[in-house]
Chain A
Amino acid sequence: MFRTLSLSALALGAAMSPALAQTEIQWWHAMGGELGQKLEAIVADYNATQTDYKVVPSFKGTYAETMTAAIAAFRAKEQPAIVQVFEVGTGTMMAAKGAVYPVYQLMADMAEPFDPSAFLPAVVGYYTDTAGNMLSMPFNSSTPILYYNKDVFEKAGLDRNTPPKTWEEVEAFSRQIMASGAAKCGFTTGWISWVQLENFSAWHNQPIGTLENGFGGLETELTVNGPVQVRHWENLARWQKEGLFQYGGPVGGNDAPPKFYTQECAIYMNSSASRAGVIANAKDFEVGYGMLPHYADIAPQNSIIGGATLWVLQGRPEAEYKAVADFFTYLSSAEVQAKWHQETGYLPITQAAWDLSKSQGYYDANPGADVSIRQMTLNAPTANSKGLRFGSYVQIRGIIDEEFQALLAGQKDAQTALNDLVARGNVLIREFEAANK
């Protein structure tokens, strides 16, 4: 009762104060724990720099929950101005033409200075339409890299400063590590779908789907059952049987990090944003960093991103969009971006933020912190390595996990698993096309 009273008193106070001129915008996000605190610090700094606008961040749970909440709110006409959506929701958001306010259009409508070329193409490429227009504002983007245990490498008689560069080396190193008894398993990985299929395909310049991995339209089809992917999944299944590789579970692979932290597995592939967690947990050994491995006969292309971007939703009062445009300018400034990048391990999204981090000496002080960005920008993105854009992709990610599990359980061989994956995924893509045409 007291709470209600004091709250309404507050509301009354707020309504009568001259601060009424301040425009408030809602930002729904999915950053819990430490990342959430860093996000709130950014917002607090922004709110302190000016008095016209006030950004109110609200934590809405996981990525999927945040997206579902925003969609439900939109249906009830209670949507926030800004919502953070993970990369696999991009297809759904893009198809919702009347629901989202494309960022390039917003910035133009609000007469806010905005230079799309300041952003790293490898990051924004994922979120632009075929005409090159930026549809959402990149916020937290990461890419998978390779972590390894330097001490175990040395114990196994390997060079502690040389991470494996190819999958052939991963296999050979793993064998040596296990034979020497330095660790029980060679390698593990988070995110089978994102790391060992999507990024694997982009890194080897193999298509994930037709029409530029779905960038070209809703008529796209998955084609991820090509010979290179089949070869890799075949190997993964074989390595798992031999114990060289340990499976970390579906989706993000919750069991993978502990396997690396407890020195059970010597090599670990996961998001560059896992760096903070790896450093915090790897207390008894030194961590090394490397790019994702590639097969020796195929030159590496570039890796693709994961993480989330900020989408602006339609149907809010005009004044709020003014605030959003101003906030986005602040958010993409070099100082804010460089700080966010250095504190979290997410990628800097602009060239200026990257340059600033360099000039601040961040990469010299933190070796390995630039592996992600060098890997992302190794080559200019091709049609196969720009990213991917499919409807219902949250469910397709689930299918990838299921088929991989069937493969590891020995129910299917790699070709059958990938064929079934493609067939099942395409059914969902066709349904999505029908619902959004």
Chain B
Amino acid sequence: MKRAVFRNRLLPWVLLAPQLAVTFVFFLWPAAQAGWQSFLREDAFGLKTTFVGLANYSRLLDDGEYLNAVGVTAVFSVSVAVLGMSVALLLALAVDRMVTTARGYTTLLVWPYAVAPAIAGLLWWFIFNPTIGLMPHVLGLMGIDWDHSLNGNQAMILVVIAAAWKQISYNFLFFVAGLQSIPASLREAAAIDGAGPFRRFLTITFPLLAPTSFFLLVVNTVYALFDTFPVIDATTEGGPAQATNILVYKVYVDGFLGLNLGSSAAQSVVLMAVVVALTVVQFRYVERRVEY
């Protein structure tokens, strides 16, 4: 790593100041407030405040709805990561084999990433809307009765597809880059030794892609945990019967609709701990081995 040397002792601080200020105002300060709020019980207007210690946290552990949200979040994030990454890998492998048109396809496949999550959610909501959507009609012809407003599993499928769809583009880019950094000579040598395409993928391409995959796994999990709020809000609003109520959506519902600020703050502190843990994992174990 390069080490810059400043003669002026003040200059580095001045240069850092804007970034530090932004971090303080938009992250540290609100985070500290959430931390403090999580120990309080307060009415919506902030007229009566009681210090309740860890009561907001301990209540979460007895709360069936919260535990349900934990389970829903686990299913949701794993599904989004698996779907988003496997489809992206397939597409990347397909593009990698192309000789002339790879560039054009790459551009097209990256487009969905530019779509805002709320728009993506709305798009899939329209496609799968039981009353006016196209897919329920098609599925109906196949004998599948689609109604995600009542069927929790179907609602989960819908939000997983909507959330994974735009992440596919992102994953795809990294896989393409990862594939390009695998020396062709390795695969050629294997081919000369008589390994078929499937075997070459399994023993050479896939292991060499592992660092990229691991990095993407962390990024996708963080995405599914925190950035999918608009997708849920635009499609199912956590329903039916909380079948798609992920943790971050529950923070919003309890805090901004239910005005239960103490519990909402406690939940967001828990989420904050999760993201810190994931970041540590990424930096300590993944970052060093990944080639970008």
Q: Are A411 and B241 touching (Cβ within 8 A)?
A: yes
Report chain A residues within 8 Å CB of B149: 247, 249-250, 255, 405
Question: Would you call A97 and B240 a contact (CB within 8 A)?
Answer: no
B112 within 8 A of A: no
Residues of B within 8 A of A212 (CB): none
Q: Which residue of chain A lies nearest to B155 when distances are taken between CB atoms in the complex?
A: A405
Residues of A within 8 A of B258 (CB): 392, 394-395, 428
A92 to chain B minimum Cβ distance, whole angstroms, is 6
Which residue from chain A places its CB closest to the CB of B239 in the assembled complex?
A250
A99 and B43 CA atoms in complex are apart in Å by 11
Interchain nearest-CB distance for B194 vs A (Å): 55
Interface flag for A434 (CB, 8 Å): yes
Q: Is B25 an interface residue (CB 8 A)?
A: no
| A92:B48 contact, CB within 8 angstroms | no
Residue of chain B at shortest CB distance from A401: B239
| Neighbouring A residues of B42 by C-beta, 8 Å | 435
Q: Is A71 an interface residue (CB 8 A)?
A: yes
Contact of B46 among A75, A249, A406 (CB under 8 A): A75
Interface size on A (CB < 8 Å)? 36
Report the count of interface residues on B (CB-CB < 8 A).
30
Q: Quick one: CB contact mask for B232-263 with A, threshold 8 Å, 1 for yes?
A: 00000101111000000000011011111010
Q: Contacts A250-B237, A401-B239, A405-B149: A395 and B257 contacting too (C-beta < 8 A)?
A: yes
Looking at the assembled complex, report how far the CB atom of B122 sits from the nearest CB atom of chain A, in whole angstroms.
13
Q: Which of B43, B50, B257, B262 contacts A64 (CB 8 A)?
A: B257
Cβ–Cβ < 8 Å partners of B166 in chain A = none
Q: Which of A95, A401, A409 contacts B43 (CB 8 A)?
A: A95
Any chain A CB within 8 A of the CB of B131? yes
Chain B interface, DSSP helix/strand/loop, else mixed = loop
Q: How far is the CA of A316 from the CA of B205 in the complex (A)?
A: 69
Indicate if the CB atoms of A405 and B239 lie closer than 8 Å: yes
Is A98 interfacial (CB 8 A cutoff)? yes
Q: Which B16-47 residues have a C-beta within 8 angstroms of A?
A: 41-47
User: Which residues of A lie under 8 Å from residue B237 when comparing CB positions?
Assistant: 250
Give the residues from 70 to 87 in chain A that come closer than 8 angstroms, CB to CB, to chain B. 71, 74-75
C-alpha gap A75/B41 in the complex (Å): 15
Question: Which residues on A sit within 8 Å (CB–CB) of B47?
Answer: 96-99
A330 to B38 CA separation, bound complex (whole angstroms): 45
What CA separation (Å) do A395 and B257 show in the bound complex? 7
Bound Cα distance from A99 to B240, whole angstroms: 35
Q: Are A402 and B259 in contact (CB under 8 A)?
A: no
Given known contacts A95-B43, A96-B43, A255-B130, A402 and B242 CB-to-CB distance under 8 angstroms: yes
Question: Contacts of B253 on A, CB cut-off 8 Å?
Answer: 395, 398
Residue B54 interfacial (CB < 8 Å): no
Is A68 among interface residues, defined by CB-CB distance under 8 A? yes
Query: A259 on the interface (CB 8 Å rule)?
Result: yes
> Taking the complex as formed, is B151 at the interface, i.e. its CB lies under 8 A from any CB of chain A?
yes
A54 to chain B, nearest CB (A): 27
By a CB distance below 8 angstroms, the chain A residues around B204 are none
Q: Is the CB of A92 within 8 A of B259?
A: yes
- Cα distance, A68 to B131, chains bound together (Å): 32
A434 touches B240 (CB 8 A): no
Assess whether A436 is interfacial by the CB under 8 Å rule: yes
Distance (whole angstroms) from the CB of A40 to the closest CB of chain B: 27
Nearest CB in chain A to that of B63: its residue: A427
Report whether A75 and B45 are in contact in the complex, using a CB–CB cutoff of 8 Å.
Answer: yes
Residues of B near A437 (CB, < 8 A) are 48
Which residues of B are found within 8 Å of A216, using beta-carbon distances?
none
Q: Are A247 and B150 in contact (CB under 8 A)?
A: yes
> Known: A97-B47, A405-B240. Is A435-B130 also a contact (CB below 8 A)?
no
Task: Enumerate chain B residues within 8 angstroms of A92, measured Cβ to Cβ.
Answer: 44, 259
B residues within 8 A CB of A411? 241
Q: Is B132 an interface residue (CB 8 A)?
A: yes
Q: Is the CB of A96 within 8 A of B239?
A: no
Measured CB to CB, the nearest residue on chain A to B55 is A434
The distance in angstroms between the C-alpha atoms of A398 and B47, with both chains bound, is 26
In the assembled complex, which residues on chain B have CB atoms less than 8 Å from the CB atom of A98? Answer: 45, 47
Which chain A positions have C-beta within 8 A of B259?
Answer: 68, 71, 92, 392, 394
Q: Is the CB of B241 within 8 A of A436?
A: no
Find the B residue at minimum CB distance from A98: B47
Assess A409 versus B152: contact at CB under 8 Å? Given A71-B259, A395-B257. Answer: yes
5 contacts between A and B (CB under 8 A): A99-B47, A250-B237, A255-B131, A405-B239, A424-B65
In addition to A95-B43, A406-B241, A435-B262, 4 A-B residue pairs with Cβ atoms within 8 Å of each other are A71-B259, A97-B47, A98-B45, A409-B241
7 closest A-B pairs (Cβ-Cβ)? A405-B240, A402-B241, A99-B45, A395-B258, A96-B45, A406-B241, A405-B241
- Chain A interface residues (CB < 8 Å from chain B): 64, 68, 71, 74-75, 92, 95-99, 247, 249-250, 255, 258-259, 392, 394-395, 398, 401-403, 405-406, 408-409, 411, 424, 428, 431, 434-437
